[in-house]
C-alpha cells in the first residue's frame, strides 16, 4: 500500500497567520509498514477556492502517481474524502485504467453541495464517475444518494479499540499529560469554527461553572476562530474554567480522552465524526448534536445524549445531567464502550472496506475483459 498525503503548501512566514493555520503543514504517517508520500499543493483559504482546489490537486498528483504506478502497478485508488481527493482519484482512474473508490465523510457531503451550485455540480459528477462510494454512516449514505442519486456503502468507523480503550488509573494519565487530578474534565476535540458549536459550548459552560464546582472545559483543536474564542473567554473571565489547548498530537489523543470525564461535540452538522467514536471507545459519556449520521449511529445508545444544534439551553442541561449524576455516568461509560466494540472497531470495518474494494476491482476487470476481449 502506498499513501499519498496532500499537504497545503504555503511560504513559511504565512503558516502562523490565522487563515493559513487551519491546514496541517507537518503531517506524519503513524503506521509502520506503510509508504507515505507527502504531496504539497497550493490551495487558498476560503469557500470560493473549493471548486479549484480539487483540480489543482489532480495536476500536482498526476505525474507522481503515473510514475509510482509503473513501478508498483496499483489495483485500486482509494480517496479518503470526496473532495478534493475524490476528484483527483476520478481523473487518475481514467489515466491508469484502474477503479477508484471515494469516501464521503462530512462537510463535503453535508454542507458544501448546499453552499455552491458549482460545487454541487462537481460533487454529482465525482460521485457518479467513481467506481465505488463508501460513506461514514447511514446519515451520510442517505445524503449522498439524495444529492447524486448514487447509493453508497455505509461503514461506521475505523477506531483502534486497543489504543482507544478505558483505563483503570485515570489519575496516572492525568499526571502524564499535565491535567488536574481532582477536577471533572469536559473535553472538546475538533476544529475551531462556528459550525462546530464552539460558542454555544462556551455560553453553556459559563452557566455550568456557576452551578457545579470543580468542572473545567478543555478545548482541543485548531482553526480560524481561535483568537475570537480566546477573546470571549478573557472578556468573560473564564480562564480558570475554560482552556483553549490547541492542536493535540494524534498519538496522544487517546490519553486526553482517557483522562476526561465527558466528551462534548455540539456541531451544526456532521457525518459520523471519528472523535465521537474514539471517545466512546475510551468509555466516555458523550453529549452531541442530533445531526448527520449521529442519530442513526448512537441515537439509541445509552452512552450518548443527543441535543438540538445551536441550543445553549439543551447543551447546558445535558452536560448538567451527566456532571451531577455519578450513577448515570457509570451506565453511560459501559454503554459507550459496548457500542464502540459493536460498530467502530478497525479490524471489523477494515475487513468490510477491503471486501468492498475487492468487489469493485473484480467488477471493473470483468467490464474491461468484455470491452477488450
Please give the pLDDT value at position 26.
60
Which domains can be identified in the chain, with CATH numbers? Answer: 2-158+347-371 (3.40.50.2000), 170-344 (3.40.50.2000)
Residue 207 Rama label (left phi>0; alpha psi -120 to 50; beta): alpha
Q: How much is the mean pLDDT over the chain?
A: 90
Cite the DSSP H helix spans in 236-325. 253-259, 274-281, 294-298, 312-323
State how beta strands 100-104 and 215-222 pair.
Answer: unpaired
pLDDT confidence of 322, banded at 50, 70, 90? Answer: very high
263 — phi, psi (to 5°)?
A: -110, 135
pLDDT confidence of 1, banded at 50, 70, 90? Answer: confident
Please give the pLDDT value at position 185.
98
Average pLDDT over residues 277-288: 97
Count of beta carbons in the 10 Å neighbourhood of residue 52: 14
Q: Rg of the chain's alpha carbons, rounded to an integer?
A: 21
Give the percent of the chain with pLDDT over 90.
64
Please give the pLDDT value at position 34.
75
Please give the pLDDT value at position 28.
59
Please give the pLDDT value at position 286.
98
Cell of 260: 476526561
Average pLDDT over residues 19-37: 65
Q: Which has the higher per-residue pLDDT, 84 or 257?
A: 257
Residue-wise pLDDT for 194-231, tens only, equals: 999 999 999 999 999 999 989 999 999 988 899 999 99
Q: CB–CB of 125/85 below 8 Å?
A: no
Instruction: Evaluate the omega torsion of the peptide bond into residue 229 and state whether it is cis, within 30 degrees of 0.
Output: no
Average pLDDT over residues 110-131: 90
Q: CB–CB of 144/127 below 8 Å?
A: yes
Please give the pLDDT value at position 350.
86
Average pLDDT over residues 320-336: 97
Please give the pLDDT value at position 4.
82
* Residue 38 clears pLDDT 90, i.e. is over it: no
Please give the pLDDT value at position 21.
63
Q: How far is CA 143 from the centre of its chain?
A: 17
* Residue 327 clears pLDDT 70, i.e. is over it: yes
Instruction: Evaluate the omega torsion of the peptide bond into residue 88 and state whether it is cis, within 30 degrees of 0.
Output: no
Residue-wise pLDDT for 148-157, tens only, equals: 999 999 887 7
Residue-wise pLDDT for 77-103, tens only, equals: 999 889 999 999 999 999 999 999 999
pTM, full prediction: 0.82
d(Cα 76, Cα 165) in Å, to the nearest integer? 33
Q: Which has the higher per-residue pLDDT, 134 or 158?
A: 134
* Residue 348 clears pLDDT 60, i.e. is over it: yes
Q: Which helix (H) or strand (E) holds 243?
A: strand 242-246
Average pLDDT over residues 9-13: 72
Average pLDDT over residues 255-273: 93
d(Cα 269, Cα 260) in Å, to the nearest integer? 24
Q: Report the range of poorest mean pLDDT among 17-26, 32-41, 137-146, 356-365.
A: 17-26
Cell of 169: 488509573
Amino acid at each position: 500500500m502506498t499513501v499519498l498525503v496532500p499537504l497545503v503548501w504555503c511560504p513559511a512566514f504565512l503558516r502562523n497567520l490565522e487563515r493559513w493555520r487551519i491546514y496541517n503543514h507537518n503531517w506524519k504517517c503513524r503506521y509502520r509498514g506503510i509508504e507515505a508520500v507527502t504531496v504539497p499543493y497550493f490551495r487558498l483559504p476560503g469557500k470560493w477556492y473549493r471548486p479549484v482546489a480539487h483540480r489543482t490537486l489532480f495536476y500536482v498528483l498526476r505525474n507522481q502517481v503515473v510514475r509510482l504506478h509503473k513501478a508498483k502497478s496499483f489495483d485500486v485508488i482509494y480517496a479518503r474524502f470526496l473532495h478534493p481527493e475524490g476528484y483527483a482519484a476520478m481523473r487518475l482512474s481514467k489515466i491508469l485504467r484502474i477503479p477508484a473508490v471515494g469516501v464521503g465523510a462530512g462537510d463535503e457531503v453535508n454542507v458544501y453541495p448546499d453552499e455552491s451550485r458549482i460545487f454541487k455540480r462537481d460533487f454529482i459528477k465525482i460521485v457518479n464517475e467513481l467506481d465505488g462510494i463508501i460513506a461514514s454512516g447511514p446519515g451520510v449514505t442517505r445524503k449522498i444518494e439524495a444529492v447524486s442519486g448514487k447509493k453508497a456503502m455505509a461503514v461506521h468507523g475505523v477506531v483502534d479499540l486497543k489504543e482507544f480503550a478505558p483505563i483503570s488509573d485515570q489519575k496516572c494519565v492525568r499526571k502524564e499529560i499535565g491535567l488536574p487530578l481532582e477536577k471533572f474534565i469536559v473535553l472538546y476535540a475538533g476544529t475551531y469554527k462556528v459550525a462546530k458549536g464552539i460558542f454555544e459550548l462556551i455560553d453553556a459552560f459559563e452557566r455550568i461553572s456557576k452551578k457545579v464546582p470543580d468542572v473545567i472545559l478543555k478545548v482541543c483543536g485548531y482553526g480560524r476562530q481561535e483568537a475570537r474564542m480566546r477573546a470571549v473567554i478573557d472578556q468573560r473571565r473564564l480562564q480558570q474554567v475554560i482552556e483553549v489547548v490547541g492542536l493535540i498530537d494524534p498519538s496522544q489523543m487517546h490519553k486526553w480522552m482517557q483522562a476526561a470525564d465527558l466528551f462534548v461535540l455540539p456541531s451544526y452538522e456532521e457525518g459520523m465524526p471519528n472523535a465521537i467514536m474514539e471517545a466512546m471507545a475510551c468509555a466516555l459519556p458523550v453529549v452531541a448534536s442530533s445531526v448527520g449520521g449521529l442519530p442513526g449511529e448512537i441515537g439509541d445508545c445509552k452512552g450518548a445524549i443527543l441535543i438540538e444544534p445551536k441550543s445553549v439551553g439543551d447543551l447546558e442541561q445535558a452536560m448538567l445531567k451527566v456532571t451531577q449524576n455519578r450513577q448515570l455516568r457509570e451506565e453511560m461509560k459501559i454503554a459507550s464502550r459496548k457500542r464502540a466494540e459493536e460498530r467502530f472497531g478497525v479490524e471489523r470495518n477494515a475487513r468490510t472496506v477491503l471486501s468492498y474494494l475487492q468487489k469493485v476491482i473484480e467488477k471493473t476487470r470483468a467490464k474491461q475483459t468484455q470491452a477488450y476481449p
